[in-house]
Amino acid sequence: MKRLSDLDYLKLNKWQAFWYKVALFFCAIPLFFKNIGLGIVNFFKKCGIGIRDEFVDIGTTFTKGNWAVKLSFLIFGFGNFYYGQILRGILFLLFEVVFIGYMIVPSGGLYWLAKGNWFKIGSTVGTVQGGLVENKINYNGIEIVTSDWVAGDDSVKVMLYGLLTIVFICAFIYTWRVQVKQCRICMDITAKGKKIKSGKDDMKSLLDDQFHKTLLALPITGILAFTVLPIIYMVLVAFTSYDAAHDGYSNLFSWVGFDNFNELFNFNKGGLGLTFGEILSWTLMWAFFATFTNYFLGMFVAIMINKKGIKIKKFWRTILVMTIAIPQFVSLLYVSKLFTTSGLIGRVLEQIPFIHDWRVAHNFVSLWDSPTVAKILLIVINIWIGIPYIMLMATGILMNIPQDLYESARIDGASSTQQFTKITLPYMLFVTGPYLLTSFVGNLNNFNVIYLLSEGNPIKGTAGGASVGHTDLLITWLFKMTLGSTESKYYYASIIGILVFLVVAILSLIIYNVIPSTRNEEDYK
Amino acid sequence: MKKQNDNKIRKTGLGARASRRISNGIIYAILIIMTIVWLFPFVGILLESFKTETNMQTPYLFPKEFGFDHYIRLFKETDFFKWFINTGIMGVATAVLQTFFILSMSYVLSRLRFKGRKGLMNFMLILGMFPGFLTMILIYKVFADAGLTANMAPLGLIIVYCASSGMGYYVSKGFFDTIPKSLDEAARVDGATRFQVFYKVIMPLSKPIVIYTILMGFMAPWGDFILASYLIHENSAGMNVAVGMYEWLSRTNLNTYYTMFCAAGVIVAIPVVTVFLLLQKYYVEGVTGGAVKG
């Protein structure tokens, strides 16, 4: 589409300008995807070049290196020893010894890797199925038959250890590369006749030039062990038949490829596709309403309290802030009971004939039994929870808006509505753009509010090994799937996790490209 | 009233003042209604907990007779005290460990420049898009083998809360970003190592964010339901307050435990609200700062 020049644009009337903007937005979508595509291509190009450079570097290190460097291609840290970096040498060598030891001992790395049957569709994870074995015991001449459980493989463990081994192998290759690189650096430094860092220097630099490594060591280890590894594991689970019936211990589970995905996206009768679609659309709807009602109402409250002439501002704020301090589950559970028929508010509503008749006509025990009313209640109660946060945030931002902007607007004769739409709102949107995104994502996964208020009820049916309600979000559905009942289907849970990730990632990508305030990190400084 | 006709300017002045008074009146009315709506559940819980009736079917808000029956029953008949202690321990431990994790992460990402910094940040951003609960399926299996579930769940939960907490660095990074870079540079010129810059220059300036992070860490275990319920799995001795009290309001228990739930709610709210109100200033700084910096 042809872009109009500024002058032409200003000539358009309101409607034309509006449609022009809409058209521009839609025309930008293909461009957006093109840019993503180009980005991906560029990424792979970069990777390719990077890998090529690495190999070239390794090659030159080998050809140019002396015997010690050449030997260190096999024995870790040999080059470091040769150049006098004893500490590094010892660490590298230790790593290699531990790695090789771990791989070759019986029931070590190779053993677990072999048991996993990695990605062989149809074959089990683990090779020995445990089972009951009958034993005949002769007890004082009477023959007794006992059955004992003979443990086989545990698929969960086989997969976990296999995965750990793969991670270990990657670490091994990386370490090999690092120590080869260090040999090259040492070669270059000695060639120039400079002094090589000793072990003591290394230790010192951990508090100085390499301080980030010291500080990051623990947090990153934690993230790798408790987030990255489990996520990779769960992604793998999506391709297996891991559920309550095949829990790995009493029954091995197996690799099934994309079968689970096909089942989840099966939109025929009896397939999960429809349920999934319904839950997804309610999740998106919920996130949208929950985010924007809170945002605008919270901002409105902040503006009201901030208005000139309103007294005891601190009092109003403290009351709202206090509600943040009280643990959510207490207030949420209490409020949810308030709206039941025997709860305080429910009772009052019961007195209204219209509501009472409606409830009886539909056979609802309480207001929570009606899907529509439950959804509305959820959004309303969520406003009650969310406003204090937004109010606090908005107050801080409102105070940062330069007052002379308003003053000059007032002199120019702008009404207070105009001041709001032309100054306050754009400023707020600009500053809180990233926050809106995070809060939208937070609401997509807002487990607490939904589960503590309605538990996802009223129940609609069962799907994916869990009961599904009208107000279930993807995350509460996921939770119910994994609760450890006899119906639990972990593979669906993991697919849903992946899908939540995709939804969030796509939304973030689009929004990050649209809002201006996220572009440059250094701008804030 | 008499001068109204002959002085036009005065009139508009009066009119503006009157309309401002009206609009302020409306705002006051809204604020008062809001105060009532926002405080209603809390006052409700408080009043409910002092009732002497045991069941939920009391159609009035104010107790007919004030009594501490439910509080006494709470400690005599239920495991509530145990849950309370569990959660308190988790709160303190999480506050300490999580603060360490988050502050190191955010300090490094904000003030040090090194290779792979941007990549690390992007990586964590993407990682954060997975629902965190997903990791629990594997963690539960591993912890069950290690004996960190059921009765030992509090210990397991502390590990879960803290281990990945480095990913929540955004708010404190925003704070560190606002400290002028020239401070670091001046100290570096004077020969300070990066470690010395960290604990002699930046840390003393960072009191608000340290307190904010401690506060958040302390409050997290009090409200956590999803992770806790998964690890605890109906073992009363290892429960935190949220999981324990949740059971009380299930359909079968509702009538027996409803008022006790309210009493327990009051007790739970006391430490958290006290800590929170004491440190409110820092909380407000954190929320406002964090939102602006993204």
Q: What ipTM score was computed for the predicted complex, to two decimals?
A: 0.85
Structure tokens at A467: 């009961």
For A:236-295, CB contacts with B below 8 A are 237
**Which strand (E) or helix (H) includes residue A331?**
helix A328-338
Which whole number is the average pLDDT over B239-257? 81
- Is pLDDT at A222 greater than 90 in this prediction? yes
For residue B249, the SS3 value is: coil
Its sign, for the CA torsion B182, B184, B190, B191, is: negative
Cβ contact A242:A154 at 8 Å: no
pLDDT tens sequence across A439-480: 888 898 888 889 888 888 888 877 777 788 889 998 998 888
Please tell me if residue B96 touches chain A, with a CB cutoff of 8 Å: no
What's residue A32's pLDDT? Answer: 77
pLDDT band per the 50, 70, 90 thresholds, residue B11: very low
Average pLDDT, chain A: 84
Please tell me if residue B178 touches chain A, with a CB cutoff of 8 Å: yes
Amino acid sitting at position A352: I
Please tell me if residue B291 touches chain A, with a CB cutoff of 8 Å: yes
Which whole number is the average pLDDT over A202-223? 87
Please tell me if residue B25 touches chain A, with a CB cutoff of 8 Å: no
Q: Which residue has the tokens 């949420």?
A: A332
Q: In chain B, which residues have their Cβ closer than 8 Å to the Cβ of A447? A: 133, 225-226
The share of chain B scoring above pLDDT 70, in percent, equals 90
Across the interface, whether the CB atoms of A225 and B129 are under 8 A apart is answered no
Please tell me if residue B115 touches chain A, with a CB cutoff of 8 Å: no
Minimal Cβ distance to B166: which of A220, A301, A335: A220
What's residue A519's pLDDT? Answer: 45
Per-domain residue ranges of chain B = 8-69, 73-293
Minimal Cβ distance to B108: which of A212, A237, A504: A212
Selection from B87, B216, B220, B214 nearest residue B154 by Cα: B87
Selection from A191, A164, A196 nearest residue A88 by Cα: A196
Strand partners, A150: A131
For A:458-487, CB contacts with B below 8 A are 474-475, 478-479, 482, 484
Across the interface, whether the CB atoms of A384 and B124 are under 8 A apart is answered no
Q: What is the DSSP letter of A240?
A: B
User: What does chain A come to in residues?
Assistant: 525
Which whole number is the average pLDDT over A274-278? 87
Q: Model-level pTM?
A: 0.85
User: What separation in angstroms does the CA of A422 have from each of A7, A25, A389, A429, B113?
Assistant: 21, 22, 24, 11, 39
Q: Which residue has the tokens 């690189």?
A: A181
Cβ contact B212:B285 at 8 Å: yes
Strand partners, A489: A243
Structure tokens at B253: 């228990």
Please tell me if residue A384 touches chain B, with a CB cutoff of 8 Å: yes
For A:35-64, CB contacts with B below 8 A are none
Which whole number is the average pLDDT over B152-158? 89
Residue of chain A minimizing CA distance to B37: A384
Q: What is the DSSP letter of A197?
A: P
Q: In chain A, which residues have their Cβ closer than 8 Å to the Cβ of B293? A: 524
- Is pLDDT at B142 greater than 50 in this prediction? yes
Q: In chain A, which residues have their Cβ closer than 8 Å to the Cβ of B215? A: none
Minimal Cβ distance to B276: which of A325, A448, A494: A325
Which whole number is the average pLDDT over A427-438? 79
> What is the CA A358 to chain-centroid distance, rounded?
42
Number of helices (H) and strands (E) in chain B: give both, helices first: 15, 0
Its sign, for the CA torsion B174, B175, B178, B183, is: negative
Integer Cα distance of A366 and A363 in angstroms: 9
- Is pLDDT at A520 greater than 60 in this prediction? no
What's residue B134's pLDDT? Answer: 87
Cβ contact B41:B28 at 8 Å: no
Minimal Cβ distance to B272: which of A304, A325, A342: A325
Across the interface, whether the CB atoms of A216 and B258 are under 8 A apart is answered no
Integer Cα distance of A345 and A356 in angstroms: 13
Query: Which comes out higher in pLDDT, residue B216 or B293?
Result: B216
For B:234-273, CB contacts with A below 8 A are 241-242, 245-246, 249, 254, 258, 261-262, 265, 268-269, 272-273
Structure tokens at A132: 């009951």
Its sign, for the CA torsion B194, B199, B205, B208, is: positive
Integer Cα distance of A398 and A389 in angstroms: 14
Strand partners, A155: none
Burial (CB < 10 A; 0-12, 13-18, 19+), residue B54, is middle
Rounded to 5 degrees, what angle do the CA atoms B174, B177, B179 make?
125
Minimal Cβ distance to B162: which of A222, A310, A324: A222
Output helix, strand, coil percentages for chain B, rounded to the nearest 5. 80, 0, 20
Structure tokens at A97: 């010894």
Across the interface, whether the CB atoms of A334 and B114 are under 8 A apart is answered no
Across the interface, whether the CB atoms of B24 and A225 are under 8 A apart is answered no
Integer Cα distance of A238 and A248 in angstroms: 14
For B:116-175, CB contacts with A below 8 A are 124, 126-127, 129-139, 141-142, 159-160, 162-167, 174
Across the interface, whether the CB atoms of A215 and B193 are under 8 A apart is answered no
What's residue B10's pLDDT? Answer: 47
Buried b (16+ CB within 10 A) or exposed e, B235-252: eeebbbbbbbbbebbeee
For B:34-73, CB contacts with A below 8 A are 34-35, 37-39, 41-42, 44-45, 56-57, 59, 61
Cβ contact B222:A327 at 8 Å: yes
Integer Cα distance of B284 and A389 in angstroms: 9
pLDDT tens sequence across A333-379: 888 888 887 778 888 888 888 888 888 888 887 888 888 889 999 99
What does CATH list as the number for B73-293? Answer: 1.10.3720.10
Across the interface, whether the CB atoms of A432 and B291 are under 8 A apart is answered yes
Cis? peptide before A458, omega within 30° of 0: yes
Please tell me if residue B19 touches chain A, with a CB cutoff of 8 Å: no
Minimal Cβ distance to B288: which of A234, A392, A518: A392
